[in-house]
A and B are shown apart, each in its own frame.
Chain A
Amino acid sequence: MAKSIVVLRAYQDGLHLNITPTFSVTEVTEAIRKEFERMNQPLAGVSVQIDMNAPLLTEADLAYLKTELQDTYGMEVRGLNIADGTGDSTGVLGEKRPLAARAERGRIEKTRVVRETIRSGQTEDFPEGNLIIYGDVNPGGEVSAGGDIVVLGALRGSAHAGMNGKLSSVIIAMNLVPLQLQIGNYISRPSWGQKSRGYPEIARAGTEDIIIVEEL
């Protein structure tokens, strides 16, 4: 499945913008525009680091990108990290892991399994733990959980993970096209009418109020 050529990710040291290096700067700029439009969240003032695997963009291109991020989106570019190795993106990021990987391992958590689609006007709340939906969450339907929410279908309605404030909670859906996502007190309303990307995605709280969505 084709990944997006730019991916915004949250790491312990803040947001990183990962850029797949085999594209022209025009394509990268366009991909950034699409990705940010899809997120539909205020990014002004947010600090970001640009990560690339190979130095395929020229220095002029990089300068252009930096200006673009600063002027168009009001973001602060705090650094640029280019690995000249081949391919493997973990090379760049080293031991810094995405936030979701911080989940405490080996702990048994309470989880409620719901074996039906949550339709318009219906809600499913499970403040005590995680929620797994074997179905869809339709527009007008709402699910909330103290921990993570996993939708093994399409999430088209609203989901609130970490409803008691647990910011390490995540929302996963096979098909993530929500009206609204909330993790702890971070809210995102992805732009309306998004088509599914055709692969499972995960949403997690980034830094500075931003909810990050990426391929699972």
Chain B
Amino acid sequence: MGKVIVVTSGKGGVGKTTSTANLGTALALIGKTVVVIDADVGLRNLDVVMGLESRIVYTSMDVIENRCELSRALVKDKRVEGLMLLAASQKNNKDDIQPEQMKAICTELRATHDFVLVDSPAGIESGFRNAAAGAEEALVITTPDVSAIRDADRITGLLQHEGVEPINLVLNRLSPEMVRKGNMVSQSDVVGLLNLKLIGVVPEDREVIASTNRGIPLVHNKNSPGAQAYMRIAKRLTGQRIPIPELREKGFFSNILDWFSGNK
């Protein structure tokens, strides 16, 4: 029996889709069977980020409305064994799906796959509720800025209310540049405030945008810092104990982070 994990954030544009695509691919690369579900009905883009857009024939809406079997709606990613996408309908909107219908899909998929990752839309309304309906665990994505953290906190409260547990935290786009501009909250401040288990820190990485545009998830190119971060998170998701490498170990970062968190 696999795990259903919702990838969510509250605030938009913080890296839910990027994280879903990369963690899904990374988990498949280390031998797991994975389905990534786009729950952003009406604004789908997980298929684009994964380069599978042209191969979509059916969507979750077709499954819900009994136009096709769930297994037939899954789009296989040919670049890696064991990775499938369930696309969202672009024609519908978020209220066309009910939480129980999403839950039924997740329940069916987890019986035959190791991981089901659900890419949640931004917000706290029905789209989020549908995405979270079938999930037992969550990855909360935040960037190190006050409003993203505030929304991550809000979404965490809602997830806890639904009994989702564990809720792990991914800190995305941590960058020295933001620190310099004084816009960044330190890693320890984020974790201290949200009081969640930090499962990984993904640095700001230009390769993310390049890979998004190419439709090839970053983790296929193992050299980039972002790819390495996602590979480590995937391994942690499978239960491997890999310490979170402190970005502060690298001279420059270390000074700034220490300075910001008062550890000097």
Interface residues in B49-81 (C-beta closer than 8 Å to A): none
Q: From the candidates A116, A122, A156, name the one contacting B193 in the complex (CB within 8 A).
A: A156
Whether B153 pairs with A119 at a CB distance below 8 angstroms is: yes
Is B213 an interface residue when CB atoms closer than 8 A count as contact?
no
Contact digits for B20-53, partner A, Cβ 8 Å, 1 yes 0 no:
0000000000000000000000000000000000
Interface of B is mostly: helix
Whether B262 pairs with A121 at a CB distance below 8 angstroms is: no
A156 partner residues in chain B, CB cutoff 8 A: 193
Whether A136 pairs with B150 at a CB distance below 8 angstroms is: no
CB-CB nearest in chain A for B158:
A121
Is A117 an interface residue when CB atoms closer than 8 A count as contact?
yes
User: How long is the Cα–Cα vector from A119 to B154 in the complex, in angstroms?
Assistant: 6
User: How long is the Cα–Cα vector from A135 to B193 in the complex, in angstroms?
Assistant: 11
User: How long is the Cα–Cα vector from A156 to B158 in the complex, in angstroms?
Assistant: 19
Count, chain B residues at interface, CB 8 A: 12
Q: From the candidates B157, B160, B192, name the one contacting A120 in the complex (CB within 8 A).
A: B157
Whether A120 pairs with B195 at a CB distance below 8 angstroms is: no
From residue A141, how far is it (CB to closest CB) to chain B in Å?
8
Is B8 an interface residue when CB atoms closer than 8 A count as contact?
no
Q: A117-B195, A156-B193 are in contact. Are A138 and B262 (CB under 8 A)?
A: no
List residues of chain B with CB under 8 Å of any chain A CB. Answer: 150-151, 153-154, 156-158, 160, 192-193, 195, 262
List residues of chain A with CB under 8 Å of any chain B CB. Answer: 116-117, 119-122, 135-136, 138-140, 154, 156, 195
Given contact pairs A119-B160, A140-B153, enumerate 7 new A-B contacts (beta carbons under 8 Å): A116-B160, A117-B195, A121-B158, A136-B193, A138-B153, A138-B193, A154-B193
